[in-house]
Structure 1
Amino acid sequence: MTSRRPLLPLALLATTALALTGCAASDDPASDGVIRIVASTNVYGDIAQTVAGDAAEVTSIIHSSTQDPHEYEADARDALAVSRADIVIVNGGGYDDFMDALLEAHPNDAVVVIDASQLSGLDPDADIHDHGDEGDEDEHEGEHADEDHDHDHGAFNEHVWYHLGTMATVADEIAEALGALDTGAANAFRDNAIAFGDGLDALTVRLGDIAARHAGAGVAVTEPVPLYLLEAAGLENRTPAEFSEAVEEGTDAPALVVQAMLTLVSDGSVAFLAYNEQTVGPQTERVLAAAEDAGTPVVSFTELLPDGMDYTAWMTANVDAVETALGA
């Protein structure tokens, strides 16, 4: 889902906006013919580069596992990148709100904003936009609107980059936006997006095969980051909600909840523990130690793209790890 945002500047980053005025006057990015894409994280940056190839300059604001999108504070370099962007890709859903602040501080009616959470259709509170009849524009649209969209997650799980169908749709939207900017390369962008989607379709088939063998098997998670992927594999999240919510919020779960979690990963109730390596603390480390002591398999997940991997290779490694943990 793409949108064009006519936004008013905020007081936030106003000083940076003034500082950039001189740069904009002397260096108009529109005059150099370069298509610039800014992504909130390296996950979306990688997908954008896959679709664009060498035809665009891609900047990922969050590019290191040491950076937390929930707490990230934008700087002047980020502001400059957004102010010069033709396409901006955000996760949305409250995950990368710093991008909203940047866009509001540097309004640009021409920038195309691609919001993955809105595209996902998974957030019941998201605005629904009518794009008209797009049935002939992309054969992947129907394929990627899969049955995972019918799942009821309760509170919205904003980690939509673990929902493969959504990422294929994001790639399609990137290709459409790029094609509008460079019509001569539109078919190449579309082909790249289709190839990317085909790779994710193959992974979706593998997840379906896992579900056929292990449907209903229980798992525990320290955070809901990989839940869309685990659900596609037919697995059931048995984590006490208070535990994963506390981890997400950076607070301590009540002692009884922690004990319930320790018991869960120790008594054979779950096939494996899904452990978010990027959000750890004393309580998650206790849970990890309990799982390891009990011989419960541990599958590590990350929020950001690991160094040296592209998105498809990353998700393939995650599916491989799930299969190994399940013993099939």
Structure 2
Amino acid sequence: MRITVTTLKNTINAIATYAIALVVGFGVAACGSQAPSTQTKPEEAKSNKPISVVSTLDTWGSLAQEIGGEDVKVVNLLNGSNANVDDAKLSDNDSKTLHSAQVIVVNGAGYDDWATKNLPKKTELVSAASTVGALNGDNPYLWFSRDARSAMANSLYETFSRINPAKRKDFTSRFNKWKDKEKTLDAYLNKFASVHAKYKIASTSPIIFWLLSDINIKDSAPKDYISSIAQGTDPSTQSIGEFSKLLEDRHIDVLINDSQKNKNDNINVINGIAGRSYTSIVNVSELMPSYAKQLDTWIIKILDDIENGTKTSASMRLAIDKQEKPSRLITEKPKPVLPGPVRSNEGQKDPGK
């Protein structure tokens, strides 16, 4: 067979075409048999990562944890009943923590100003005071207010759902569970208010102002004293005297102290008179004690302590009154000893005979 140049060129082109087709075929087959990708999509990675939450106080941090559950990571700057709330300062580490947060939870109303200055602008801010319209100078212990708790729970729920909409269903479930618990707490508060409406509770600090309001019990401390401590000024000598007289006359069932405030001379005097008048003293902390992980548990315990304290005051006073009560009233006139019947020996024999 004679091989011409033309024939040779055609043969070479056919071989090249076949080789290219073979390579392409292998490439397509390889692509078709490749294992499914396990790489997480950006939106999925975002939904699986907990939201970074920083709360200035453990009171609101506990609520954020209830609503957020495993889908949030909460860091509290102030924790526990032993924390120094009066001289709290923002450390360098605290500042870094705040600036790395996605959500910052504050109380407001002047209570945590030490932490709320120069906050990052892009961070979501949830403020208890803002949710209820409280201003600096208003009573700052807002976690004891049912209105503030409800407003904060709703605000946290909306914030978390907006940041991570893929988890809205989970946030909704936890929010509904919280509302059910709060209804139980409301029922407890309402029952306490109706059963114990006559309780005489006096406070040396405005710490449970909102709680007393929710149970419709008026603080029995003198008005001038209440006004002074609400404004952060020293009570007058006259109001201290009136407070002391109420205790001495046993017109107070329970005395409430703020356990995280330093006791000054006036409070020491009032506490001393309370002890001598057999009045129970209940100490309430500003931040959450170790036994309480959630706000409703803590609030119920405080009211239980007030109820038990009132009963203890009554029993102590009854016992001491029985001890001091004389066997005969000093106002009772002594009864004269009446003479007995005249004895007669008539008709009797002489025993000596």
Q: How far 1:233 moved relative to its partner?
A: 1.8
Cα distance between partner residues in 1 of 2:138 and 2:198: 22
2:210 equivalent to 1:233: no
Cα distance between partner residues in 1 of 2:82 and 2:216: 32
String of CA shifts for 1:11-51, please: whole Å, max 9, x gaps.
xxxxxxxxxxxxxxxxxxx9x94411111111111111121
Contact 2:200–2:220 at 8 Å: present in 1 too?
yes
2:298 equivalent to 1:314: yes
> Are residues 66 and 242 of structure 1, via their aligned partners in 2, closer, same or farther at CA, if it must alter by over 3 Å?
farther
Decide which of 109, 120, 124 is 1:112's aligned counterpart: 124
Q: Bigger radius of gyration, 1 or 2?
A: 2
String of CA shifts for 1:131-171, please: whole Å, max 9, x gaps.
xxxxxxxxxxxxxxxxxxxxxxxx62121111123213212
> Are residues 195 and 326 of structure 1, via their aligned partners in 2, closer, same or farther at CA, if it must alter by over 3 Å?
farther
2:304 equivalent to 1:291: no
Contact 2:139–2:230 at 8 Å: present in 1 too?
no
2:101 equivalent to 1:85: yes
Decide which of 29, 36, 40 is 2:52's aligned counterpart: 36
Decide which of 175, 183, 201 is 2:165's aligned counterpart: 183
String of CA shifts for 1:238-295, please: whole Å, max 9, x gaps.
2235545665777653333322222223322223111111113132232222212212
Cα distance between partner residues in 2 of 1:194 and 1:322: 30
Q: Given residue 279 of structure 2, which amino acid in structure 1 is its aligned partner?
A: T
Aligned-residue CA RMSD (Å): 2.7
Q: Given residue 75 of structure 1, which amino acid in structure 2 is its aligned partner?
A: S
Q: How far 1:178 moved relative to its partner?
A: 1.1
Contact 1:168–1:196 at 8 Å: present in 2 too?
no
Q: How far 1:317 moved relative to its partner?
A: 0.7
Matches of residues 117-266 of structure 1 in structure 2 within 5 Å? 117-121=129-133, 123=134, 156-215=138-197, 217-244=199-226, 252-266=234-248
Give the match for residue 61 of structure 2. 45
Q: Given residue 290 of structure 1, which amino acid in structure 2 is its aligned partner?
A: I
Contact 1:216–1:234 at 8 Å: present in 2 too?
no
Contact 1:79–1:102 at 8 Å: present in 2 too?
no
DSSP-derived class of the 1:58 partner: strand
> Are residues 280 and 243 of structure 1, via their aligned partners in 2, closer, same or farther at CA, if it must alter by over 3 Å?
farther
Corresponding residue pairs, total: 265
Give the match for residue 146 of structure 1. none
Q: How much identity, in percent, do the aligned residues show?
A: 20
Give the match for residue 115 of structure 2. 99
Q: Which moved more, 1:53-62 or 1:259-268?
A: 259-268
DSSP-derived class of the 2:104 partner: strand
2:83 equivalent to 1:67: yes
Q: How far 1:215 moved relative to its partner?
A: 2.7
Q: What is the TM-score normalised by the length of structure 1?
A: 0.72
Q: What is the TM-score normalised by the length of structure 2?
A: 0.68
DSSP-derived class of the 1:285 partner: helix
- Runs (4+) of structure 1 moved beyond 4 Å? 244-252
Structure 2 unmatched ranges of 5 or more? 1-45, 313-353
> Are residues 246 and 64 of structure 1, via their aligned partners in 2, closer, same or farther at CA, if it must alter by over 3 Å?
farther
Cα distance between partner residues in 1 of 2:111 and 2:310: 30
